[in-house]
Amino acid sequence: MSEPDPKSKILVAVPVYNEQKYIQNVIAKIAEYAPNDVLVVDDGSTDYTPMLLAMQPVDVIRHRTNLGYGRGIRDAFRWAQAYGYEWLITMDCDEQHEPEALPDFAAAIEADDADVISGSRYLVETPGVPAPPPDRRKINHTITGWVNEQLGFQITDAFCGFKAYRVSKLDELSLCVDGYAIPLQAWVQHAAHGHRVKEVPIKLIYNDPNRSFGGPLDDATERLKHYEEVFKQELAKHPEGFKPQA
């Protein structure tokens, strides 16, 4: 495999696990905006996802077994760093993150006034879209409250995976969470290093209200408890406090 050429400066990374239903359509749409700079992190898919990816013009990292969403995000970070990209955009592959929003992230990147650009499903109302499952909305609302109160951010959607990261700032992070709680660890470290954060609006889309988080995390109470544990553990690593947000 030849080395990627980050001439566009932006890498789009898509973590996937058993996404045979969506993978071809999503990759085709992403290619309209990032034809040469797409990375897919296949987290040990056991369906036809690996075979479908083999026919796509993208770079692929494949985990031999399922290691978790957080591990996929961390792999994307390392890839972006290794190949000299300036920005990394992460997005999901279940058609809940629309590739049509990529130009909005590109415009926010060009403004050059943030280190993390986070998608928000709640900045603007999306007419005609069903409300998210109550447990997910409640958990997101609770987590967003923690992030704002403890870290000094003013965000509206702390748990959206559609984000852009300034790659030069990723060296300051030391993430180790493998699962879905990785945003909790990341927010604390962004605050500890004074990373500038802003949001861009994206559409609120929920295609799969019955999505599994795996094992005990399918129980909303257990899921929130796990997120709180990760958040508190990371807070405890920074007794010096957090830098004021620019």
- Give 204's pLDDT tier (boundaries 50, 70, 90): confident
Please report whether residue 27 resides in a domain: yes
- Work out the average pLDDT over 192-220: 80
Please report whether residue 2 resides in a domain: no
**Distant-in-sequence, close-in-space partners of 41: CB < 8 Å, separation ≥ 6:** 13, 14, 15, 16, 60, 61, 63, 72, 73, 75, 76
Average pLDDT of every residue of the chain: 90
- Work out the average pLDDT over 153-178: 96
pTM, full prediction: 0.91
Tokens representing 137 are 């909305």
Supply the pLDDT for residue 227: 95
Supply the pLDDT for residue 71: 98
Please report whether residue 243 resides in a domain: no
> Structural domain tally of the chain?
1
- Give 134's pLDDT tier (boundaries 50, 70, 90): confident
Please report whether residue 245 resides in a domain: no
- Give 237's pLDDT tier (boundaries 50, 70, 90): very high
Supply the pLDDT for residue 220: 82
Please report whether residue 62 resides in a domain: yes
Please report whether residue 224 resides in a domain: yes
For the domain that residue 104 is a member of, what is the CATH number? 3.90.550.10
Which sign does the torsion angle of CA 215, 218, 224, 225 carry?
negative
Buried b (16+ CB within 10 A) or exposed e, 220-240: eeebbebbeebbeebbeeeee
- Which of 44-48, 126-130, 239-243 is predicted with the least confidence, judged by mean pLDDT? 126-130
- Work out the average pLDDT over 187-205: 93
Please report whether residue 17 resides in a domain: yes
Looking at per-residue confidence, does 240 or 13 come out higher?
A: 13
pLDDT beyond 70 at 246: no
Domain ranges, residue 139: 10-236
Supply the pLDDT for residue 7: 54
Please report whether residue 166 resides in a domain: yes
